[in-house]
Structure 1
Amino acid sequence: MSFSRSSASALKQALKATAPKAGRQVAKRSYSLLARQAPQAMMATRLGATRGVKTLDFAGTKEVVYERADWPLDKLQDFFKNDTLAMIGYGSQGHGQSLNARDNGLNVIVGVRKGGESWKQAQEDGWVPGETLFDIPEAINKGTIIMNLLSDAAQSQTWPEIAPLITKGKTLYFAHGFSVVYKDDTHVVPPKDVDVILVAPKGSGRTVRTLFLEGRGINSSIAVYQDVTGHAKEKAVALGIAVGSGYCYETTFEKEVYSDLYGERGVTPILNPITSTPFVVNDHSWHVPRPVRGPPQERPLPSEAFNETVEEATQSLFPLIGKYGMDYMYNACSTTARRGALDWAPKFKEANLPVFEALYKSVKDGSETRRSLEFNSRKTYRQDLQKELDEIDNQEIWRAGKTVRALRPDANKDEL
């Protein structure tokens, strides 16, 4: 859902006036590089910036936005002065959120399987065994806010061991509503005597961390499933800011998981076929990105196929949409391209509507949940996944893309 023009303009002006300058560039390939501590001056700017925007008009609907300006660093640290945040799991979200909360001066510990890959990664990032790094049961016992950021499948598998350790007075925190909403399939039923809250960043844990280090912040949804203390909502907002959110939007566990599963399945899956299909030879091959008909001299070369689809979409069109909106992108196109896009858009919408309707039904009735749990719980999960990814990587359009990407001005020329 997008801003109305007036509120979007107001927000842009507010952000432009107060946005901190980006910090040093962060290497995207290394978690350890992302583990460096944010400069104190940057932290003060990040949590202290005043934007003056509270209630915004989102396409005719008024919504309250909870901002980091409401939680300066001293207030944040005072609010959590008696708490220990126990981060359970050190995957993408666990990594990013725990490091951000640590840099914000909160008492954070990490709980993962001792000796595993996550344990080793956590040590590389500065977590100390016996001081800030523990196995999962010990971390839960030591923590007051239990941040369960294991994968959805792992949350289901480990719940019988974890549940008895979440005792009265603790807070149970999730970054996704999956386990709680689909409790009939996951068997994750929170204890009745604890606050249960959610902070769901709208991006990967790597993005959460990178934006934090740049002095920016990610959008996050916050929700309360169970409020025993009467302070669950305030706690959710504060934790949202602590883990790197610039601003937070209130939702429910149900709405978060439905929109998340629907959105990621409705957007991510179309990226490969929508860029490959125009150049597919027939319905049985994804390996030769060239037109079905026409003599050889009319068929584009692999480099041209990639440039006319993936490269144009990712390097030109998507950035314009993200920064200025869809109408701006159309206005930036040539008159011929714009006319064709506007004429064909309704046809694509009509063709795809039945697919999206089936998708939403599959999300709502739990079919997507059961499929995810079944696949991600397999002992051969990683091998099965890699096989699927290798099939994509071996498609001609993506093999051609490796060479095209290496030719970009900012590319590492050693990749050629």
Structure 2
Amino acid sequence: MTTGSLGFETSVFDKEYITLAGQREGIVRGGRDLFDRLPRAFEGINQIAVIGWGPQGSAQAQNLRDSLAGRVRVVVGLREGSASFDAARAAGFSEADGTLGEMFAVVAASDMVLLLISDAAQAALYERIFAALRPGATLGLSHGFLLGHLDQRGGRFPEGIDVIAVCPKGMGASVRALYLQGVETNGAGINASFAVEQDRSGRAVERALGWSVGLGAPYTFQTTLRSEYLSDLTGERAILLGGVHGIVESLYRRFRDRGMTEVEAYRHSVDCVTGPISSIVSKEGLIGLYRRLDPAEREIFGQAYAAAYPVGLELTHEIYDEVSSGNEIRSVILAGRRLAEFPMGKIDQAAMWRAGEVARRDRDDATLPLDPFTAGVFCGVMMGQIDTFIAKGHPYSEIANESVIEATDSLNPYMHARGVAYMVDNCSTTARLGSRKWAPRFDYLLTQTAYPAVDDGAGALDTALVKRFEDHPIHEVLRICGQLRPSVDIFVQ
């Protein structure tokens, strides 16, 4: 029996090793040529339940159904009366053929249960779900929030079951879109981490890897469930969502104050981050972005980086402490209880986001500016998150994916197509709450401390930070991870 430990063996898939910044990590490459191995990975599993039809639930149910091609039944379970029944039927799941049903009945009838309802729903319903599980079942999670909630309440997972996690490093829409866009390209998809929290059957690793391969993950790396939720909750409050939200709002105002039109300011802030910066970092890494700049631009980048990095480092440390202490999880649950009385509004009505609608109408991506100041601020905050995760002992594969790859390969392309405000208004409730709480902190500290440090003269800045950036081990980590990247870029209509 294993509980939350690292190190794995597999007889179904081909394990290989990569060395990241001196750390040797085992990984499994994905690919459509491996789908024939899935029945072996799911040996003893006749029915897989996907509970929930949110972004992850809908994407994962369809990907697994398509990958397994009937060799293991995939059934969707929804709460009675859920409005998602129609959407699941439209995607080909049906009560008539037994692939769609009420969630607790589906849980009780399934050998493997992927619990993909919202964090708030998991917190409210987990006791009933645990009670409905078959003896010896496998419980699958795509986020460690429930473990954090159980820790807060002094609870535990049921003793007689396997508990595993497969956590795609991207939003559900990306999980499905890249799976479909990669039909002709072996291994196209979103990277995923996996964790084994409880292995009572001795088959937990194979089932987790089968799940990840079935989703289309190009490569799967190992973590623990606790490490995953610490890095995931922190990351979505920092550079993945809350941080980038605060960055672009602060930059937009700065550029407007310096005489740019609304569209120009949007081009140099939001479009620059989600367009050329993300595209270059995705393929060439952070150091590749830096090398694209000429000497004068590197000087501007360096000043912005030296000013923004301390903000990113300080705030990411604070967020991490709030997550690891349980404060952030409690905050999400309390906020969830208030939503019926105080629903979240949308943020897309501000002048900045209305300007973005205009800017996207005639945008030519080939002519978007690569603003060195914007690049320095974005990279500074991102490196603050990277160094926080290094200090907290996370493996480099997790650090690279949670801090860089998920942003540039999944989230930022959606922000580029539809705006950062759209993402903040349409992601998970947990992420939406986190972004609304922390984005203003990034905005405030950048505006109040970072930008004045640049404007008051470079003498106030720690220029040694730029040299540390140039020599940072994350660049080699991203180079190696880039070799595992599929050739298909996500396309968002």
Structure 2 CA distance for partners of 1:189 and 1:118, relative to 1, 3 Å: farther
Larger Rg: 1
The one-character-per-residue Cα deviations of 1:334-393 (angstroms, maximum 9, x if unpaired) are 332221112331222123432222111101101110111111233527x622x2x2xx31
Identify the match of residue 261 of structure 2 among 288, 291, 301. Answer: 301
What is the alpha-carbon distance in structure 1 between the residues aligned to residue 156 and residue 85 of structure 2?
Answer: 27
Amino acid corresponding to residue 300 of structure 2 in structure 1: G
Of stretches 267-276 and 372-381 in structure 1, the one that deviates more from structure 2 is 372-381
- Counterpart position of 2:245: 272
Amino acid corresponding to residue 77 of structure 1 in structure 2: P
- Counterpart position of 1:210: 177
**Contact 2:31–2:213 (Cα < 8 Å) also in 1:** no
Q: 2:214 aligned with 1:242, yes or no?
A: yes
Amino acid corresponding to residue 400 of structure 1 in structure 2: A
Deviation at 1:121, TM superposition (A): 1.0
Secondary structure at the counterpart of residue 245 of structure 1: coil
Of stretches 61-70 and 306-315 in structure 1, the one that deviates more from structure 2 is 61-70
Amino acid corresponding to residue 260 of structure 1 in structure 2: D
Amino acid corresponding to residue 126 of structure 1 in structure 2: G
Deviation at 1:186, TM superposition (A): 6.2
Amino acid corresponding to residue 84 of structure 1 in structure 2: Q
Q: 2:331 aligned with 1:371, yes or no?
A: yes
**Contact 1:177–1:256 (Cα < 8 Å) also in 2:** yes
* TM-score normalised by the chain length of structure 2: 0.66
Deviation at 1:169, TM superposition (A): 1.6
Identify the match of residue 72 of structure 1 among 25, 34, 38. Answer: 34
What percentage of aligned pairs have identical amino acids? Answer: 30
**Contact 2:110–2:134 (Cα < 8 Å) also in 1:** no
Amino acid corresponding to residue 319 of structure 1 in structure 2: S
Identify the match of residue 118 of structure 1 among 70, 84, 87. Answer: 84
Deviation at 1:317, TM superposition (A): 1.4
Secondary structure at the counterpart of residue 207 of structure 2: helix
Structure 2 CA distance for partners of 1:69 and 1:99, relative to 1, 3 Å: closer
- Counterpart position of 1:345: 305
**Aligned residues, how many?**
344
Q: 2:225 aligned with 1:259, yes or no?
A: no
Deviation at 1:409, TM superposition (A): 4.6
Structure 2 CA distance for partners of 1:395 and 1:186, relative to 1, 3 Å: farther
**Contact 1:172–1:196 (Cα < 8 Å) also in 2:** yes
Deviation at 1:320, TM superposition (A): 0.4
**Contact 2:41–2:209 (Cα < 8 Å) also in 1:** no
Structure 2 CA distance for partners of 1:134 and 1:375, relative to 1, 3 Å: same
- Counterpart position of 1:140: 107
- Counterpart position of 2:95: 129
Amino acid corresponding to residue 39 of structure 2 in structure 1: Q
Identify the match of residue 400 of structure 1 among 335, 355, 368. Answer: 355
**Contact 2:234–2:319 (Cα < 8 Å) also in 1:** yes
Amino acid corresponding to residue 190 of structure 1 in structure 2: F
Structure 2 CA distance for partners of 1:144 and 1:187, relative to 1, 3 Å: farther
Secondary structure at the counterpart of residue 84 of structure 2: helix
Amino acid corresponding to residue 408 of structure 1 in structure 2: R
Structure 2 CA distance for partners of 1:279 and 1:183, relative to 1, 3 Å: same
Deviation at 1:234, TM superposition (A): 1.6
What is the alpha-carbon distance in structure 1 between the residues aligned to residue 59 and residue 110 of structure 2?
Answer: 18
The one-character-per-residue Cα deviations of 1:33-82 (angstroms, maximum 9, x if unpaired) are xxxxxxxxxxxxxxxxx9x9821121221111112259722221344364
Amino acid corresponding to residue 73 of structure 1 in structure 2: F
Question: Which runs of 5 or more structure 1 residues have no equivalent in the other structure?
Answer: 1-49, 282-288, 292-297
- Counterpart position of 2:65: 102
Amino acid corresponding to residue 276 of structure 1 in structure 2: E
Identify the match of residue 117 of structure 2 among 150, 155, 165. Answer: 150
What is the alpha-carbon distance in structure 1 between the residues aligned to residue 15 and residue 41 of structure 2?
Answer: 23
Deviation at 1:404, TM superposition (A): 0.7
What is the alpha-carbon distance in structure 2 between the residues aligned to residue 181 and residue 148 of structure 1?
Answer: 15
What is the alpha-carbon distance in structure 1 between the residues aligned to residue 155 and residue 66 of structure 2?
Answer: 31
What is the alpha-carbon distance in structure 2 between the residues aligned to residue 70 and residue 403 of structure 1?
Answer: 41
**Contact 1:200–1:220 (Cα < 8 Å) also in 2:** yes
Secondary structure at the counterpart of residue 143 of structure 2: coil
What is the alpha-carbon distance in structure 1 between the residues aligned to residue 227 and residue 153 of structure 2?
Answer: 18
What is the alpha-carbon distance in structure 2 between the residues aligned to residue 66 and residue 172 of structure 1?
Answer: 21
Secondary structure at the counterpart of residue 195 of structure 2: strand
The one-character-per-residue Cα deviations of 1:238-295 (angstroms, maximum 9, x if unpaired) are 11111222211111011100011111111111222312223438xxxxxxx721xxxx
What is the alpha-carbon distance in structure 2 between the residues aligned to residue 356 and residue 121 of structure 1?
Answer: 38
1:22-41 equivalences under 5 Å are none
Secondary structure at the counterpart of residue 79 of structure 2: coil
**Contact 1:113–1:119 (Cα < 8 Å) also in 2:** no
What is the alpha-carbon distance in structure 1 between the residues aligned to residue 294 and residue 205 of structure 2?
Answer: 48
Secondary structure at the counterpart of residue 117 of structure 1: coil
Question: Which runs of 5 or more structure 2 residues have no equivalent in the other structure?
Answer: 1-12, 183-187, 366-416, 419-493
